[in-house]
């Protein structure tokens, strides 16, 4: 039994060391629609015709049939260097490939679908232990998430997995004098409780192990640095929703409607100590503090509890010394920070009158400061 990775290495081994082509071995994936019923002979013919029309007809190749995403699909490994060491023409490969696959869909009476439609046909689903075959569910979901989403830390990766009813644990130890470091994945129920047996990353795929995930962290960090729009898009969307409500549940609901999930982590007494945003539009995961201090856990905790949960800022009408009226906007935590909880803003009581008195006192002290002038 061989694998795609082994085949890639074998092809590389038999190439002349004098070849200067940077990536002489090619890996191609052909993914028919889930509803297409294809025999092994059909898949072999499609692969052969595709390679011939792409200009690889005289090249050695191997075709693998996979069923790891609940449908048949093909992986093709071949070489883009001819017997004389000359690199085959790869200009306009993307457009040529697209045209060829459309023709093959027509010829073999296959479903026609562009990339977005195919993604919609095979959406990521939460693991459901009651449906059985839990290992396959976990493996398919984890591999898909690792291949498509960007995250920069283990915490962000764990949060992404939790959306799909999967938990992750690090395991470290020593066997025979050698240290080991690995991941173990488990299915969970809707409340985050583990269900059934855990699965070692090594039993799923090397692409979901420690080394691969650490590489994914580095790749994601590089991608976010190169393309600032990825984080800016998420940040602007979250900030826009934050301005609309002081209600946490409403905040979550409005973000979800925009294609963003937010996962809060709470202390035993209900205080927010962590917030992670998963933007499915850009397939990016961010801890709140990465997007800005105003979206950190502390800032969000304050936003959802001050001045009054579920209410907009309250305009206060405050009498000035000369009897005229001064309209002053009461903005969240300003009074609370200055006077402490003794005003009753967090503890009921006659908070309206006390808030007016506090604001009035603040205005008086501001005027006194003006009269005294700056101190040297």
Give the pLDDT confidence of 313-361 residue by residue, as tens digits.
443 333 444 443 333 333 333 322 322 333 222 333 334 444 544 554 5
The alpha carbon of 175 is separated from its chain's Cα centroid by a whole number of angstroms, namely: 35
Residues 106 and 11 reside in one and the same domain: yes
Residues 8 and 114 reside in one and the same domain: yes
How far is 264 from 246, CA to CA, in rounded Å? 15
Query: How confident is the model at residue 114, as a pLDDT?
Result: 55
Residues 39 and 76 reside in one and the same domain: yes
The domain spanning residue 103 has which CATH number?
A: 3.30.70
DSSP 272: E
Q: Which of 75, 103, 121 is the last residue of a domain?
A: 121
Residues 199 and 289 reside in one and the same domain: no
What would the pLDDT profile of 37-85 be if each residue is shown by its tens digit?
788 888 889 999 999 999 888 888 888 887 755 567 788 888 887 777 7
- Among 6-20, 137-151, 209-223, 299-313, where is mean pLDDT lowest? 6-20
Query: How confident is the model at residue 1, as a pLDDT?
Result: 53
Residue pair 184/161 in contact (Cβ under 8 Å)? The answer is no
Residues 113 and 17 reside in one and the same domain: yes
Query: How confident is the model at residue 15, as a pLDDT?
Result: 58
Residues 137 and 204 reside in one and the same domain: yes
How far is 189 from 255, CA to CA, in rounded Å? 23
Count of domains in the chain? 4
Q: Is the pLDDT of residue 138 over 90?
A: yes
Residues 116 and 73 reside in one and the same domain: yes
Give this prediction's pTM: 0.55
Q: Is the pLDDT of residue 11 over 70?
A: no
Query: How confident is the model at residue 349, as a pLDDT?
Result: 38
Residues 286 and 318 reside in one and the same domain: no
Residue pair 214/205 in contact (Cβ under 8 Å)? The answer is no
Give the containing element (helix H, strand E) for 287. Answer: strand 284-287
Residues 236 and 217 reside in one and the same domain: no
Residues 237 and 222 reside in one and the same domain: no
Average pLDDT, the chain: 78
Q: Is the pLDDT of residue 14 over 60?
A: no
Q: Which of 226, 243, 258 is the last residue of a domain?
A: 226
Find the Cα–Cα–Cα–Cα dihedral 267, 272, 274, 277, rounded to 10°: 140
Whether omega before 307 lies within 30 degrees of 0, making that bond cis, reads: yes
Q: How confident is the model at residue 173 (pLDDT cuts 50, 70, 90)?
A: confident
Q: Which of 247, 275, 305 is the last residue of a domain?
A: 305
How far is 141 from 160, CA to CA, in rounded Å? 11
Domain containing residue 244: 229-305
Own/partner contacts of 62-68, CB < 8 Å, gap of 24 or more, are 62/7, 64/4, 65/40, 68/139, 68/140, 68/143
Query: How confident is the model at residue 25, as a pLDDT?
Result: 78
């Amino acid at each position: 039994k061989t694998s795609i990775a082994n085949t890639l290495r074998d092809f590389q081994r038999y190439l002349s060391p004098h070849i200067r082509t940077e990536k002489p071995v090619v890996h191609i994936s052909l993914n028919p629609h889930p509803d297409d019923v294809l025999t092994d002979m059909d898949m072999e013919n499609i692969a052969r015709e595709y390679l011939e029309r792409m200009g690889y007809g005289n090249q050695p190749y191997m075709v693998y049939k996979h069923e790891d995403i609940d449908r048949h699909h093909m992986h093709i490994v071949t070489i883009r260097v001819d017997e004389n060491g000359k690199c085959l023409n790869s200009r306009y490969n993307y457009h040529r490939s697209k045209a060829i696959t459309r023709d093959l869909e027509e010829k073999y009476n296959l479903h026609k679908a562009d990339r977005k439609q195919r993604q919609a046909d095979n959406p990521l689903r939460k693991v459901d232990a009651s449906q059985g075959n839990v290992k396959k569910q976990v493996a398919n979901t984890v591999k898909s998430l690792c291949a498509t989403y960007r995250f920069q830390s283990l915490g962000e990766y764990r949060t992404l997995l939790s959306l799909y009813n999967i938990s992750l644990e690090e395991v470290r130890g020593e066997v025979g004098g050698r240290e080991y470091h690995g991941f173990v994945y488990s299915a969970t129920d809707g409340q985050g409780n583990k269900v059934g047996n855990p699965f070692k990353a090594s039993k799923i795929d090397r692409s979901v192990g420690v080394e691969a995930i650490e590489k994914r962290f580095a790749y994601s960090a590089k991608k976010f640095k190169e393309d600032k729009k990825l984080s800016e898009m998420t940040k602007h969307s979250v900030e826009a929703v934050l301005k609309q409500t002081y209600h946490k549940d409403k905040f979550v609901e409005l973000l979800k409607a925009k294609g963003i999930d937010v996962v809060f982590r709470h202390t035993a007494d209900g205080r927010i100590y962590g917030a992670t945003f998963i933007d499915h539009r850009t397939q990016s995961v961010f801890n709140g503090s990465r997007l800005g201090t105003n979206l950190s856990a502390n800032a969000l905790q304050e936003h959802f509890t001050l001045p009054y949960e579920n209410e907009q800022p309250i305009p206060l009408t405050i009498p000035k010394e000369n009897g005229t009226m001064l309209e002053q906007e009461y903005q969240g935590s300003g009074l609370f920070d200055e006077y402490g909880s003794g005003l009753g803003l967090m503890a009921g009581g006659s908070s309206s009158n006390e808030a007016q008195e506090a604001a009035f006192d603040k205005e008086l002290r501001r005027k006194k400061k003006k009269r005294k002038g700056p101190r040297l």
